[in-house]
A and B are shown apart, each in its own frame.
Chain A
């Protein structure tokens, strides 16, 4: 049973993975550009990170080496840390402005 699943996955061509992750990445970018809610922007960033992760795992399997998968673990660890910090900042912003709309934060200049 397990064999058949992994065999099925290996039959998926590399092209499909590339297109999927490209699509996910573009969705993430557009989300960051168009949405105003900081939490949604955050989620879009996660989406971009995961698009890259998916690509790396796919290539790792295609090359038959483990390096790509190791990278993915690093990316996930860093992403988790980044989320922790980012959400903390968001909470502080919400406390101060009563909103998570990024257009409120237009003072980020000298």
Chain B
């Protein structure tokens, strides 16, 4: 009973916050709106933490049914929440990181005219995200899935007076929609084959099926299309870099830590279906690793601090999919957790830098910020070390685990993933050195305003820095004598898959050698970046510079946007125009207008009968009666 109330309150608190701030938008003082927003998420976080503590080994999952949502014949869906190790981890990340980002936003959005609106959207986002991870059936997850897409759209286009930002918002929404079609088709197929949409029933039935059945492969592929859209993988990744148009806290919360990991969560949740479809898993792994490498190469040549981080997010998400693809579901969730810490920290640090630089995001104009922003510098360094995968920071454990599992399943995939991870170290340190090292390249007026951010912004940075530093210890691998607490905690969720197929393992000496190689090469790459950007102090070429061959290709993001424009957007636009002129104007408009013209003409003609002469009326009446009489009698 107490559990019911707590579980229900977790998503209810942010919803209440949204309603309160959203409805009293104009009346509410900004400090009060900020307080309500942060408070509601904090309540959610504390309740989630309480659930986490209360969840013992004896009761690995708990379902709370709020009410029967849809009941039509055989089709029944209840509005119920599933709290198990997987959703608890997601809830803790969403509300924990979400709370820190809310606090950060109170400082970052200070003085913005849409301050209250911003917090209303953020709270709504938290609500939908919680719905997504807590829903105990596919339909409820889909509601959350669409809801976070909506919030993402609203927040990317938050500064709606800028047309470019609006276009970015629309792009994100439409590309997500392509993925959503796959997702809903997958859900429909699940219902057709299993006759139910609730997780426990579907998974129980699936556990008795044979691996590699055609329809399971189709279902998992369709669900994966949804994940590709939401988690920005090839070929639907182009919306995420554009989504950086939103305020920086939004990029941190939605486009790094939580929403884009919904695809990872969804596949991990459906792990048993994926384990039954080895073909799909191969697709997931290949797309993941391809995205990881592809996005990492683009990130090398970007000069916008947020764009670099955006491509880095795409790349890291690719690594997570790689982990899922080789069947290491826990590892995928592990990397998602550590990534939530260090990527949110990187984005918030970038926000702090942008804040100090009076809105400039170009790393060519930065440099030497170490002395001006000491806290941002220190926390950013920790996050950079974490994402580069150096021990003992969080990213090291999770990334290494991915690479170890990949190596065991396919050395080729490992090679590509390894390359992507080296590139990660390079572009992150390039970004770091260009931003913080050397001397300031900012203009005089900007430099005079350089200042460390207020404590509301540095506090979340520090907390996240601590998490980025020690977060990896929840999954110390056996090779270091660790028990891998996360693995044990998540074991009940993946028990069904584990019974069918174990992720590949390599022996400890190979694992240690691989670790050594990765860390050693990463250090060399970092030294290379140091040499290039600190010792030689070389600055990336300006926009107008001539670029040759591969450099030009990478700088322009492989011209993928242009390709999509030519292959998809233009033909669609042409089709729309053709339909407009041919069908709309020549056919539909003509039919509608003719109807109007006929009525007008008829009215004009019949009007002549109304002469106003009473005698004529009477005459017409009598004649009509006689005609009716004759017709009735003789015909």
Binding site for B on A (CB under 8 A): 29, 32-33, 36, 102-103, 105-110
- Asked if B618 and A108 sit within 8 Å, CB to CB, the answer is no
CA distance A35 to B622 in the complex (A): 15
- Asked if B614 and A102 sit within 8 Å, CB to CB, the answer is yes
Binding site for A on B (CB under 8 A): 610-615, 617-619, 622
Q: Which residues of A contact B619 (CB under 8 A)?
A: 33
CA distance A110 to B612 in the complex (A): 8
Which listed residue (B612, B618, B622) contacts A106, Cβ 8 A?
B612
- The secondary structure that dominates the B interface is helix
Which listed residue (B612, B615, B618) contacts A107, Cβ 8 A?
B612
CA distance A105 to B615 in the complex (A): 10
Q: Which residues of B contact A32 (CB under 8 A)?
A: 618, 622
- Asked if A105 and B614 sit within 8 Å, CB to CB, the answer is yes
CA distance A106 to B615 in the complex (A): 9
- Asked if B610 and A106 sit within 8 Å, CB to CB, the answer is no
- The secondary structure that dominates the A interface is loop
Q: Which residues of A contact B617 (CB under 8 A)?
A: 108
With A29-B622, A33-B622 as contacts: A103 and B615 at CB distance below 8 Å: yes
CA distance A24 to B612 in the complex (A): 29
- Asked if A109 and B611 sit within 8 Å, CB to CB, the answer is yes
Q: Which residues of A contact B618 (CB under 8 A)?
A: 32-33
Known contacts A102-B614, A108-B614, A109-B611; can you find 19 more A-B pairs with CB under 8 A?
A32-B618, A32-B622, A33-B618, A33-B619, A36-B615, A102-B615, A103-B613, A103-B614, A103-B615, A105-B614, A106-B611, A106-B612, A106-B613, A106-B614, A107-B612, A108-B612, A108-B617, A109-B610, A109-B612
CB nearest neighbor in A for B623: A33
- Asked if B610 and A33 sit within 8 Å, CB to CB, the answer is no
Q: Which residues of A contact B613 (CB under 8 A)?
A: 103, 106
CA distance A53 to B363 in the complex (A): 106
CA distance A33 to B614 in the complex (A): 10
Q: What is the distance, in angstroms, from A103's C-beta to the closest C-beta of chain B?
A: 7
Q: What is the distance, in angstroms, from A24's C-beta to the closest C-beta of chain B?
A: 16
Q: What is the distance, in angstroms, from B134's C-beta to the closest C-beta of chain A?
A: 67
Q: What is the distance, in angstroms, from A12's C-beta to the closest C-beta of chain B?
A: 26
Q: Which residues of B contact A36 (CB under 8 A)?
A: 615
Q: Which residues of B contact A102 (CB under 8 A)?
A: 614-615
Q: Which residues of A contact B610 (CB under 8 A)?
A: 109-110
CB nearest neighbor in B for A35: B615
CA distance A33 to B618 in the complex (A): 7
CB nearest neighbor in A for B616: A106
Q: What is the distance, in angstroms, from A92's C-beta to the closest C-beta of chain B?
A: 15
Sample 7 A-B pairs with CB under 8 A, ordered by A number: A29-B622, A33-B622, A36-B615, A103-B613, A105-B614, A106-B614, A108-B612
CA distance A39 to B402 in the complex (A): 108
Q: Which residues of B contact A108 (CB under 8 A)?
A: 612, 614, 617
CA distance A109 to B615 in the complex (A): 13
